[in-house]
């Protein structure tokens, strides 16, 4: 039994949350040099190389359905991360994650189908309104739209991730998917940043971002989703917006107004309420 297999599932999810949010804050420091596309390309490329070394992405013996599943997971990873980084380039980290959180929240609501979910959906909507109306400075509309797109892909990621975890042994499915995602983004990153991607001041932090934002959290979440339902996963993930705001404050110096804090709290409360006692929202591989 590996170390990840012995670790408690809640601990894995909480560790993933902290790792990915501080990794995102570190990635934001790269935007002025290589842009969001360059940063996400370095992130996924570094993660793909590390995961490929640990779990070689062999395709022999896999069915067409398994290959399609891994490819889908890789494309979802690429789209989710690119849209989120583009949003993060325009709006603060805590706000971006809270808006993006409509994806996991939707998974929890669809999984539960209770009348009370109308209340949780309403609270989440109020939270989003609080985050996008008012504050220290105007909130970029394109940034909000990109965060919503990232949220839709995040919800898809939760469902597909659970299927990959059941279809592949260990982290081989994740390793294969990460290679697909990195290859899909490579032309975009090169077009955006060119040779600046290989400069040490970009490359070294980019590798760190890959470890913090991809290798650690995706490995932790993949293992956790083998043992817990997506509804329980959604409850634990309700801490994500708050941790994102903390990371944005510590690493990027992004302050929070009272209204923004209330908005994040409403989204988190809605997530907990919608996720409790919800039925699993995923099927078999």
> Does residue 280 sit within a domain?
no
CA distances from 265 to 21, 22, 91, 98 (A): 17, 19, 18, 9
> Does residue 46 sit within a domain?
yes
Predicted local confidence at residue 108, as pLDDT? 66
SS3 2: coil
231/244 Cα distance (integer angstroms): 21
Using an 8 Å Cβ cutoff, are 193 and 70 in contact?
no
SS3 149: helix
Q: Which residue, 232, 279, 267, is CA-closest to 121?
A: 267
> Does residue 157 sit within a domain?
yes
Predicted local confidence at residue 159, as pLDDT? 85
> Does residue 3 sit within a domain?
no
> Does residue 2 sit within a domain?
no
Predicted local confidence at residue 25, as pLDDT? 93
Predicted local confidence at residue 230, as pLDDT? 64
Whether the model pTM is above 0.85: no
Predicted local confidence at residue 111, as pLDDT? 61
> Does residue 285 sit within a domain?
no
Number of structural domains in the chain:
1
Q: Which residues of the chain have pLDDT under 50?
A: 135-136, 278-285
Kindly give, in sequence order, each residue whose CB lies less than 8 Å from that of residue 61, ignoring residues fewer than 6 positions away.
Answer: none
Predicted local confidence at residue 200, as pLDDT? 93
247/199 Cα distance (integer angstroms): 26
> Does residue 206 sit within a domain?
yes
> Does residue 284 sit within a domain?
no
Kindly give, in sequence order, each residue whose CB lies less than 8 Å from that of residue 165, ignoring residues fewer than 6 positions away.
Answer: 173, 222, 223, 225, 226
Predicted local confidence at residue 136, as pLDDT? 45
Q: How does DSSP classify residue 140?
A: P
Helix axes 172-193, 31-54, angle to 10 degrees: 150
Predicted local confidence at residue 82, as pLDDT? 96
CA distances from 32 to 42, 150, 160, 206 (A): 14, 21, 33, 13
46/70 Cα distance (integer angstroms): 18
Using an 8 Å Cβ cutoff, are 108 and 234 in contact?
yes
Domain that holds residue 84: 8-275
- Report the C-alpha dihedral over residues 36, 41, 44, 46, rounded to 10 degrees: -120
pLDDT digits (tens, 9 = 90+) for 123-153: 777 887 777 665 445 678 899 999 999 999 9
Strand blocks (E) in the chain: none
């Amino acid at each position: 039994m590996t170390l990840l297999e012995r670790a408690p599932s809640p601990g894995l999810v909480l560790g993933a949350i902290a790792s990915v949010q501080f990794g995102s804050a570190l990635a934001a420091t790269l935007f002025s040099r290589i842009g969001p596309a360059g940063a996400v390309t370095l992130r996924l490329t570094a993660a793909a190389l590390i995961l490929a070394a640990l779990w070689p992405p062999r395709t022999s013996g896999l069915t067409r359905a398994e290959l399609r599943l891994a490819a889908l997971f890789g494309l979802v990873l690429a789209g989710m991360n690119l849209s989120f980084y583009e949003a993060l380039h325009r709006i603060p980290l805590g706000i971006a994650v809270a808006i993006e959180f409509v994806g996991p929240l939707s998974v929890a609501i669809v999984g539960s189908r209770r009348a009370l979910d109308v209340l949780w959906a309403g609270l989440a909507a109020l939270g989003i309104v609080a985050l996008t109306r008012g504050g220290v400075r105007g909130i970029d509309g394109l940034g909000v739209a990109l965060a919503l797109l990232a949220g839709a892909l995040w919800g898809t990621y939760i469902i597909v991730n659970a299927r990959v975890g059941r279809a592949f042994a260990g982290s081989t499915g994740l390793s294969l998917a990460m290679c697909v995602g990195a290859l899909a983004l490579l032309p975009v990153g090169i077009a955006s940043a060119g040779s600046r991607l290989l400069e040490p001041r970009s490359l070294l932090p980019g590798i760190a971002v890959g470890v913090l934002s991809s290798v650690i959290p995706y490995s932790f979440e993949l293992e956790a989703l083998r043992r817990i339902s997506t509804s329980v996963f959604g409850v634990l993930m309700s801490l994500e917006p708050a941790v994102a705001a903390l990371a944005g404050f510590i690493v990027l110096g992004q302050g929070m107004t009272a209204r923004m804090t209330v908005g994040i709290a409403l989204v988190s409360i809605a997530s907990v309420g919608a996720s409790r006692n919800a039925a699993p929202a995923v099927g078999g591989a």
